[in-house]
Amino acid sequence: MGRKKIVAGNWKMNMTPSEAVTLIDTLKPLVKNDDVDVVFCVPAIDIIPAIEAAKGSNIQIGAENMYFEEKGAYTGEISPNMLTDAGVKYVIIGHSERREYFAETDETVNKKVLKAFEHGLTPIICCGETLTQREQGITIDWIRQQIKIAFLNVTADQAKTAVIAYEPIWAIGTGKVATTEQAQEVCSAIRACIGEIYDEATAEAIRIQYGGSVSAKSAPELFAQADIDGGLVGGASLKPDFGAIVNYNK
């Protein structure tokens, strides 16, 4: 049994609530594809209007981040309960921009991943190397470390339902997409690492996305790779192009 593809948009810090509704109305008819799970990860303030706007479509709404505590004195943070109560199913954890600008670490990523599973949220767990790391030949070592810490104390049953997004930092927002071979090589190493931590069945079940300058042009070849189960799309998820990316196989 094959893994179902999953294509997620990461809107980052774009779209006001009213712009979110307009964009979803525009994209709704373009992102129909029974072969693909379609997720729009939107800013927290857009979640409620986005869920309303996406009703009756195949679009699921995700969050871009959440905190790892249940509630309390954490000014500015969003709790897992707030997300599930609003109808959110997916949450991006540990995006490289969160790690770079908001001091997230492999350890906080792990806490958030555990908390997401506790609440029945599917985490989209991000990993990726810098250009320097790639040039120094330590990409696979680095990614394995990120994965091993992110999955500490995660059970095999939980891991089977997780999504991992491999996003080379040098390919994000740069128009520099990793070559198909580079992307497949790392996604295959991630699957092997999951196999080592858990077992073959877990490695086969987990879904691994590629992210970094994914476009309507690059998506078909990327998503056809054995270990690439879809994409996490930034810039192109804000445009009608996203419809073509979701329909990469048509």
Ligand X SMILES: O=C(CO)COP(=O)(O)O
Contacts to ligand X by CB under 6 A = 10, 95, 167, 172-173, 211-214, 232-236
Shortest Cβ 122–ligand X spacing (Å): 16
- CA 222 to CA 166: how far, in whole Å? 12
| Phi, then psi, of 130 in degrees rounded to 5 | -80, 170
Does 10 count as an annotated binding residue?
yes
Shortest Cβ 36–ligand X spacing (Å): 17
If the CB atoms of residues 203 and 229 are measured against ligand X, the closer one turns out to be 229
If the CB atoms of residues 172 and 222 are measured against ligand X, the closer one turns out to be 172
- Closest residue (Cβ) to ligand X? 234
Amino acid at 35: D
Does 94 count as an annotated binding residue?
no
Q: Out of 77, 100, 167, 196, which one is annotated catalytic? A: 167
Q: Take residue 42 and report the two structure tokens written for it.
A: 């939107």
β pairing state of 230-233 and 207-211: parallel
Shortest Cβ 174–ligand X spacing (Å): 7
Does 173 count as an annotated binding residue?
yes
Shortest Cβ 72–ligand X spacing (Å): 29
If the CB atoms of residues 98 and 203 are measured against ligand X, the closer one turns out to be 98
- CA 232 to CA 214: how far, in whole Å? 8
Burial 105-142 (b: 16+ CB within 10 A, else e): ebebbbbbbbbbbebebbbbbbbbbbeebbeeeebbeb
If the CB atoms of residues 49 and 235 are measured against ligand X, the closer one turns out to be 235
- CA 24 to CA 50: how far, in whole Å? 7
Does 55 count as an annotated binding residue?
no
Q: Which of 122, 126, 121 is nearest to 106 (CA)?
A: 126
Strand residues in 128-241 grouped as ranges (E): 163-166, 207-211, 230-233
Does 170 count as an annotated binding residue?
no
Q: Would residue 167 show up in a list of annotated catalytic residues for this protein?
A: yes
Q: Would residue 95 show up in a list of annotated catalytic residues for this protein?
A: yes
Amino acid at 142: W
If the CB atoms of residues 31 and 233 are measured against ligand X, the closer one turns out to be 233
Shortest Cβ 167–ligand X spacing (Å): 5
- Max distance between CA atoms of the chain, in angstroms, equals 49
Q: Out of 95, 97, 104, 129, which one is annotated catalytic? A: 95
Does 65 count as an annotated binding residue?
no
Q: Binding site residues, as ranges?
A: 10-12, 173, 213, 234-235
Q: Binding site residues for substrate, as ranges?
A: 10-12, 173, 213, 234-235
What residues are labeled active site? 95, 167
